[in-house]
Structure 1
Amino acid sequence: MANSIQAIRNVYDIAKGARDNGKSLTDEEIKDLLEKTVSDESLISKYPRFEKGYAAEDLFMRIFSLLPWVKSVVPLGQEQFPEKSKETLQISDYEITFEAGSEENTSCILVEVKLVGGDKQTYELQKYKYEVLKEYSTQKKEPLLFALFWKKQMIWTVNSIESFTEKSSSYKISYENAFKDDLSAIFGDYTYLFQRQCYRKSVFSNNNNVNTEFFHEHTQYGRTIYEGLSLDGKNFEQLCMLEPPLLDCAFDFKEISHKKISNSDTEIIEEFKKLPCVYKLSSLILAYLLKMYCLDKDSLYYKENIVVENSFGIVDTVRRKCGGEKYYLLPYNINRAATQLIEMQFGEVKRIFNIYRNTQRKEDHIIIASHESK
């Protein structure tokens, strides 16, 4: 069984590598590889399920490696020897090294990645699967967390087992509770809060010979030749060609002025239609990559390129230009694992740690703390 699962992983890696190189394998070619390398024939028909799980793991590694406090995300080999070792301990998917409390200090955490697909709003983990993962965590003396990708919402949450509800043979967690108890802030997964009105100026040209770096074309007014943002409606900061797509995927705008500025050029100024807006950094990166056609929503496949590699910088720059403020989403429930991790990351910032410990919990509320002292 172990060798067969490793063989399935190998086939997945080959298929992904072929797709990365623009030479995707056909279903028949993938099936042929599976039949030649997977000894347990009953697993071959389950390849699509394995494929989705592996794609979620790859996506986690890419997205979380972009977060500002993460030093490295290292995949841990799933093939174990001796073969019977998996009966007592299971190596987790990743080990993350990240800044802990300061730039000089680092810590390591083990992460097991799980995909919650379709319209599912709960994730259930069998107890025997948790126990073998926990045993590896105990031997490594590193905390174990679960990174859950809620596909319907396109959101990652990072949770400890304490946030799950214990059943007779399993642990179970809902999306609502997973989000409320999310621990991804320890990796620098900011929560951006947009409260200030922001103005967007767009200039379009119907001149067929216009020279512009922008991709977008207005159906009526022509190609985009300028994009800018302002927090006072007067002084605009210019955007580069990679920045406007984030505005399009994150915000709704309403037009407040419209004028011809030359025979060929039209200027439109818009403002946020709705305030406030709240986004997690990891969610904004995902939305941006979808908008830039760097991520396939169904298969979760992404291809490495300069946009993906620089997506955090693009997202955070646009956030600043929009007047977005950095906050940290803190766990709603106070438990042992959450307290240890929040204290490790924010313990020296008493203001943030006290918000976690002392804020009165109210139903349907989340706990957030500002990055800046206020």
Structure 2
Amino acid sequence: MNDMEKANILHQLKTAFDISPELLETLLKQISNKSIKDNFKRITSGLTIEDNYKHIFSAMPWIKNIGGLHQAQAEKYKKNYQIPDYALLVEDSQKKNFPLLVDVKYVKGDAKSCTIIPKQKHTLRQYATAHRQPLLIAIYWEFIGYWTHTCLSHFGGKKNNKIDWQTAICNDLSHLLSDYTFLINKPFYRKTVFPKPADHSNRNYARHKLYGNFDSIFIGPDIDNLFKEDELFYSMVIDANFNATTVSIEDHENHMCLIEEFSSQPSMIKLSQWLLNLTQFMNIQPSLVVNEMHVLETARKVIVDLIHRLGYSISYNIPPLKNACTDELFELAYKDTTVMRDYRHGKV
């Protein structure tokens, strides 16, 4: 076992158990490579992003399995092959599954491009070819809090090993994994009813800072067409991604009524980005499970239901840079669909 593999195991141990600083230091001393030891915090931040990828994309409806490929690899094999981070099974348009390999990259801070070492690019491609499975590179762009999926052939530059964030977004294939993009092209509304006097007694319950706990919630595409939704999660996913504009505040004898408008301007919102915003809004880890249900999976179901009820459409990005990789993936995912026809129609 090499020192990087030891660092990975230590990261998993630190994630699963409450380890004291003293024990962590003792275990770190068993890593002889000074560079890995001194950069353990930076290395584990990248491993955390890998873990978050699994939790976020496990919540997607077309993902039928996602497993880490963290097997120890003998040094003699690394010359020709690098094992990607994840193996996925993805549901296609025919309700069958196809395999997909994903390697995760983390672009930290304000950096605007992702670079892969040429040898790593070669060995990843060799592994995918040998296993006869398509490969995507998943990149987390920290400066915008955004995930993209692209083919290795989308990387350019002198060594064909670099991609900037604009190119990655233009050629994003995340929708293959049911990471939809929603087109919010008209405002929607929420009416919240609060009992009087304001009830602030339950501090573990979400409430308005002035009007206290809510009595009921109504959401809809216009003020005169609202559907009742008492489940608080619907309001939480809205507040995680939209800013409210107050339309009116009505003071009745037994209750207050707050009417708000959301998203008066057109916008494109990707499902994974919405889920990330929700984790930050709720201050939770992407791995959180409540009552044996993954919180992000519950949130995804709420988001998709909300979008459906509000009448917004889903967009499937057609990459301007088409190649053998995108041809194969679109055929695997969208055979005999309008998405496949759109892809072929736009092909140069």
When normalised by structure 1's length, the TM-score is: 0.85
Rounded Cα–Cα distance in structure 2 between residues aligned with 1:232 and 1:43: 56
Report how far residue 74 of structure 1 moved: 1.1
Query: Matched residue of 1:330: which SS?
Result: coil
Rounded Cα–Cα distance in structure 2 between residues aligned with 1:237 and 1:215: 22
Report how far residue 324 of structure 1 moved: 2.3
**Aligned position for 1:365:** none
Task: Provide closer, same or farther for how the CA distance between residues 224 and 109 of structure 1 changes in structure 2, counting only shifts above 3 A.
Answer: same
**Aligned position for 2:27:** 33
Task: Provide closer, same or farther for how the CA distance between residues 158 and 44 of structure 1 changes in structure 2, counting only shifts above 3 A.
Answer: same
Tell me if structure 1 keeps the 8 A contact 2:198–2:211. no
**Aligned position for 2:323:** 335
Q: For residue 329 of structure 1, what is the amino acid of its counterpart?
A: N
Rounded Cα–Cα distance in structure 1 between residues aligned with 2:315 and 2:237: 19
Rounded Cα–Cα distance in structure 2 between residues aligned with 1:84 and 1:360: 42
**Aligned position for 1:226:** 216
Report how far residue 347 of structure 1 moved: 2.6
Rounded Cα–Cα distance in structure 1 between residues aligned with 2:221 and 2:183: 15
Query: Matched residue of 1:310: which SS?
Result: helix
Q: For residues 80-108 of structure 1, what are the alpha-carbon distances to aligned partners after superposition, in whole Å with 9 as ceiling and x for unaligned?
A: 13x211122111111111112321x2111
Name which of 66, 80, 83 aligns with 1:91: 83
**Aligned position for 2:235:** 244
**Aligned position for 2:37:** 44
Task: Provide closer, same or farther for how the CA distance between residues 85 and 321 of structure 1 changes in structure 2, counting only shifts above 3 A.
Answer: same
Is 1:324 aligned to 2:315, yes or no? Answer: no
Name which of 102, 109, 131 aligns with 2:100: 109
Report how far residue 123 of structure 1 moved: 0.4
Task: Provide closer, same or farther for how the CA distance between residues 75 and 273 of structure 1 changes in structure 2, counting only shifts above 3 A.
Answer: closer
Report how far residue 208 of structure 1 moved: 5.8
Report how far residue 335 of structure 1 moved: 1.6
Query: Matched residue of 1:165: which SS?
Result: coil
**Aligned position for 1:172:** 162
Tell me if structure 2 keeps the 8 A contact 1:70–1:99. yes
CA RMSD of aligned residues (A): 2.3
When normalised by structure 2's length, the TM-score is: 0.91
**Aligned position for 1:159:** 150
Tell me if structure 2 keeps the 8 A contact 1:97–1:107. yes
Report how far residue 336 of structure 1 moved: 1.6
Q: For residue 89 of structure 1, what is the amino acid of its counterpart?
A: Y
* Counterpart mapping for 1:179-218 below 5 A: 179-207=169-197, 215-218=205-208
**Aligned position for 1:370:** none
Report how far residue 357 of structure 1 moved: 3.0
Tell me if structure 2 keeps the 8 A contact 1:199–1:230. yes
Q: For residues 303-341 of structure 1, what are the alpha-carbon distances to aligned partners after superposition, in whole Å with 9 as ceiling and x for unaligned?
A: 444423422112212222333222212212222211221
**Aligned position for 1:13:** 12
Rounded Cα–Cα distance in structure 2 between residues aligned with 1:64 and 1:118: 22
Rounded Cα–Cα distance in structure 1 between residues aligned with 2:199 and 2:269: 39
Rounded Cα–Cα distance in structure 2 between residues aligned with 1:107 and 1:209: 52
**Aligned position for 1:355:** 342
Q: For residue 331 of structure 2, what is the amino acid of its counterpart?
A: E
Tell me if structure 2 keeps the 8 A contact 1:89–1:133. yes
**Aligned position for 1:58:** 51
Unaligned runs of 5+ in 2: none
Tell me if structure 2 keeps the 8 A contact 1:78–1:93. no
Moved more, 325-334 or 209-218: 209-218
Rounded Cα–Cα distance in structure 1 between residues aligned with 2:81 and 2:169: 28
Report how far residue 5 of structure 1 moved: 1.0
Rounded Cα–Cα distance in structure 2 between residues aligned with 1:136 and 1:344: 19
Tell me if structure 1 keeps the 8 A contact 2:247–2:261. yes
Q: For residues 254-295 of structure 1, what are the alpha-carbon distances to aligned partners after superposition, in whole Å with 9 as ceiling and x for unaligned?
A: 2222111224x2101112242222111111111112212223
Rounded Cα–Cα distance in structure 1 between residues aligned with 2:72 and 2:336: 40
Q: Which runs of 4+ in 1 moved over 6 A?
A: 210-214
Query: Matched residue of 2:247: which SS?
Result: strand
Task: Provide closer, same or farther for how the CA distance between residues 210 and 221 of structure 1 changes in structure 2, counting only shifts above 3 A.
Answer: closer
Report how far residue 174 of structure 1 moved: 0.4
Report how far residue 40 of structure 1 moved: 2.4
Moved more, 170-179 or 220-229: 220-229
Tell me if structure 1 keeps the 8 A contact 2:186–2:263. no
Q: For residue 62 of structure 1, what is the amino acid of its counterpart?
A: H
Aligned-residue identity in percent: 26
**Aligned position for 1:298:** none
Report how far residue 26 of structure 1 moved: 4.2
